[in-house]
Copies of this chain bind each other. A is one copy, B any other.
C-alpha cells in the first residue's frame, strides 16, 4: 500500500472521526482507520461508520488499516502543510514526512468490515433544510438511561401530519418542526452518538438515505459519508404526552429565571429537592430547601389566565430547558383540565422560537 496526502487534511479527517472509534477494544481492526483509494474509513463503536475523502498526491495503490488513535495523535502534531507518505506491508505501516519516520502496527485491510458500506433506500435531497440543526436543539432532552434504550436518541415522527424531531427522557420532552420528512425516516430513532456527530458538523448534510428494513441511515456531505444504525424499538406515542390546548399560566424573563435558578442550585447542585414556583401578584417566587439551607428568589412574572399557581420542578431540568430556548420572554402553559398546574405537564416556549418543550412537574 502506498499513498501521499497532506498532513492538515489527514489530521482534520482523523479529528472528525476520532470520537467515534473505540479505544482499546478487544478487536484491533475495529479501532483501526482504513485507507484505500484516497478514502479514510472508520467504524464507530455503536454501529456507525464514517468515510472521508482525502486529497492525494501522486499515485495511490492498495489499502491499509492502521490504529486510528495512534495515527491521529501523530498527525495532530505534524505541520499542516507537510506531505505525508504512508506505506504498508500488511503488518507494519511506515509514515514519513520531512525527514521524520514512524512505524505503527497495521492490520490486514481485508479484515475491515464492509457491512455498513451501503444503505438500501430512497435518497432525499436535504436542501439545507436545517435537519441537523433541529436534531441539535432537541438532543438535550434525550435519555442516557440504558433501561429505556429506545429513548437514547432523537426520533423523526409525524404528529398530526407535521414532521418533527423529538427527544425525551420521560421527564421532559423537546420537539421541533422540520420542513419535510426525509424518505423512510418516519419512526426512525437516531442514536445519541450519531446525533452528536451530525450536530457537531459545520454544515447540513446534502442528502440522506434511510432504510427502514435495515434500520440504517446514511448522511452525505461533501467529502464525508456518515452511516449509522437506528435504534431498534418503538418510540412512545408523543401525542399522548403533549397537553392539548394548553393555556398560558406564567410569562417571565428567561435570563432572570436562569440566574435565579443558578443561585438556588448553589445549595447542592440540585440533588433531587424540587424548586417550588409560586406565582401571584405579578411575581414568581422560587423556593428551595436542602437540609439546613434554603433559598428564596423572586422575579417579575405575568400570570395571564389561570391566576395564582404553585408547581414544583427539578431545578436542573428547568435550567436546561430555559437554556435550550432562545430570546427573552418565556411562557409556561398547561391544560387546566388535567388536574391542576401542579400535577400536569407544562409546555414551555419562548417568543419567536419554534422549539416546544414539555416538562413534568415534581410532587411537592
Q: How often does this chain occur in the complex, in copies?
A: 2
Cβ-defined contact, A295 with B103, below 8 A: yes
Nearest opposing residue in chain B for A102, CB measure: B295
Judged by a CB distance under 8 angstroms, whether A354 is at the interface is: no
Q: Which of B70, B103, B292 contacts A266 (CB 8 A)?
A: B70
A92, A293, A297: most-surrounded residue (chain B CB, <10 A): A293
Interface residues of A in 241-299 (CB under 8 A from B): 259-260, 262-263, 265-267, 291-298
A74 and B296 CA atoms in complex are apart in Å by 12
Judged by a CB distance under 8 angstroms, whether A58 is at the interface is: no
Judged by a CB distance under 8 angstroms, whether A122 is at the interface is: no
CB distance from A112 to the nearest CB of B (A): 19
Judged by a CB distance under 8 angstroms, whether A78 is at the interface is: yes
CB distance from A159 to the nearest CB of B (A): 37
Cβ-defined contact, A100 with B262, below 8 A: no
Judged by a CB distance under 8 angstroms, whether A339 is at the interface is: no
Judged by a CB distance under 8 angstroms, whether A77 is at the interface is: yes
Judged by a CB distance under 8 angstroms, whether A73 is at the interface is: yes
Cβ-defined contact, A100 with B263, below 8 A: yes
Secondary structure dominating the interface of A: mixed
Cβ-defined contact, A92 with B263, below 8 A: no
A105 and B70 CA atoms in complex are apart in Å by 52
A79 and B258 CA atoms in complex are apart in Å by 12
Q: How many residues of A contact B (CB 8 A)?
A: 30
Report B-chain residues with C-beta under 8 Å of the C-beta of A78.
263
Cβ-defined contact, A70 with B293, below 8 A: yes
Interface residues of A in 287-321 (CB under 8 A from B): 291-298
Given A260-B100, A263-B100, A266-B73: A92 in contact with B296 (beta carbons within 8 A)? no
Nearest opposing residue in chain B for A99, CB measure: B298
Cβ-defined contact, B295 with A100, below 8 A: yes
Report B-chain residues with C-beta under 8 Å of the C-beta of A76.
266
Q: Which of B70, B73, B99, B297 contacts A100 (CB 8 A)?
A: B297
Judged by a CB distance under 8 angstroms, whether A338 is at the interface is: no
CB distance from A108 to the nearest CB of B (A): 15
Given A92-B292, A292-B92: A102 in contact with B263 (beta carbons within 8 A)? yes
A266 and B79 CA atoms in complex are apart in Å by 15
A36 and B141 CA atoms in complex are apart in Å by 46
Report B-chain residues with C-beta under 8 Å of the C-beta of A262.
77
Q: Which of B77, B265, B293 contacts A263 (CB 8 A)?
A: B77
CB distance from A261 to the nearest CB of B (A): 9
CB distance from A89 to the nearest CB of B (A): 13
Cβ-defined contact, A266 with B298, below 8 A: no
Report B-chain residues with C-beta under 8 Å of the C-beta of A266.
70, 73-74, 76-77
Report B-chain residues with C-beta under 8 Å of the C-beta of A73.
265-267
Judged by a CB distance under 8 angstroms, whether A57 is at the interface is: no
Cβ-defined contact, A105 with B296, below 8 A: no
Chain A to chain B contacts (Cβ below 8 Å), 20 pairs: A70-B266, A70-B267, A73-B266, A74-B267, A77-B262, A78-B263, A79-B259, A99-B297, A99-B298, A100-B297, A100-B298, A102-B263, A102-B267, A102-B294, A102-B296, A103-B292, A103-B293, A104-B292, A104-B293, A105-B292
Q: Which 3 pairs across A and B sit closest by C-beta, in order of nearness?
A: A73-B266, A77-B262, A102-B295
